[in-house]
Amino acid sequence: MKILIVGKGIIGTIYGWALTEAGVEVTHMVRPGSQAVPEQTVKLDVLDERKGHKSENQTYYTMSCVDNITPEDGFDWIIVPVNAGQLESVLSMLAPVSGNACFFTMTSNWNGTELIDQYLPRNRYILGYADGGGTIRNGVYWTNLGAEVHLGKVEGTDFNKLDQIKTLFEKADMKPDIQPEMLHWLWVHNASATAFAAGFAYQKEMLKFLKNTPMMRTCIEATRELLSMCEKRGANLKDYPEISFMGWPDWLVIAAMRWLYTTNKSMQRYTAHAASDGSLEETRLNYQLMMKTAKEMNLNTPALKKLGEFVECKKN
């Protein structure tokens, strides 16, 4: 298959590297006018969690780059690992010139598929999410690549296309985590991450956040409010055992998080981007959408409202 990946961000780069290493033809789409050379090389420091792969990798990835495409380019799939606020501009630019290519979005999604449906029919896109993250340190992509990739269907999904993208990632030894209700999975993931992302961004450093017990309690309670909101929107929280720890007492959640974030190398890399400008922008967008939903549903969310101070980085 011939794959186009939008951008040279953390997710696009590590997935491009993994797919290229597996023998897949990958091209990266860069901003129009920014293509200096057709090939660009970046240095990677990757913690690789895929089965059968070397865990720690310091290597280089030479990516093929273009700043425009035409239908004649014949891409089979376009992978879109961008912030939610960038999705519409990407779709408006690429959908008209993508031929018959299918799109795999790796983007947070709180509002549903209405935006995507404006640009693509349901049989030309699959919703997904990455298992990995990181940041750029001194010019080096300091990242982790998880063992899974999350994907799933919505009403109108072409199951043959779902099988295609599943096979693509399996070729690179990534285990497809296929969700029967991908939108619900995205809501729950967003709900479980946004409050803590706001706390990270406010403190700028993970250790400062972990030491701030009152802030952690606010983030925990805001997360519970958001998960309750997901449930009221139709998500069955019992389908997501990864969030069961939010039912623990606050002190135990805090202790577990402090242990996890200080000992788990993968988590340290995965959350390293949280205080970046791009991540903070997406956190603000998610927060605004969540507050809008709470208002529309007439829900009382005091901790979520308090979170606004962290999102805007307002210090007393």
CATH number at residue 203: 1.10.1040
User: pLDDT per residue over 102-147, tens digit each?
Assistant: 999 999 999 999 999 999 999 999 999 999 999 999 999 999 999 9
For 286, the domain range is 184-311
Question: Which neighbouring-strand residues pair with 27?
Answer: 4, 64
pLDDT of residue 250: 97
Mark which of 180, 215, 237 sits at the end of a domain. 180
Give the distance, in angstroms, between the CA of residue 263 and the centroid of all CA atoms in the same chain: 22
Mark which of 110, 145, 180 sits at the end of a domain. 180
Tell me how far apart the alpha carbons of residues 42 and 18 are, in angstroms, rounded to a whole number.
14
Same domain for 117 and 174, yes or no, is yes
Same domain for 13 and 157, yes or no, is yes
Same domain for 167 and 261, yes or no, is no
Q: Tell me, what CATH number does 15's domain have?
A: 3.40.50.720
Q: What is the pLDDT along the chain (316 residues), one digit of tens a residue?
A: 999 999 999 999 999 999 999 999 999 999 887 655 678 899 999 999 999 999 999 999 999 999 999 999 999 999 999 999 999 999 999 999 999 999 999 999 999 999 999 999 999 999 999 999 999 999 999 999 999 999 998 888 888 999 999 999 999 999 999 999 999 999 999 999 999 988 888 887 788 899 999 999 999 999 999 999 999 999 999 999 999 999 999 999 999 999 998 898 888 888 877 666 667 888 899 999 999 999 999 999 999 999 988 887 655 4
Instruction: Please report the sign of the dihedral spanned by the C-alpha atoms of residue 116, residue 117, residue 120, residue 126.
Output: positive
Residues 6+ apart with CB under 8 A from 251: none
Percent of the chain with pLDDT over 70: 96
pLDDT of residue 316: 46
Report residue 148 as tokens: 């899974």
Q: Are 25 and 2 in contact (CB under 8 A)?
A: yes
Number of structural domains found in the chain:
2
pLDDT of residue 35: 59
* 111 lies in some domain: yes
Taking alpha carbons only, the member of 289, 261, 132 closest to residue 203 is 261
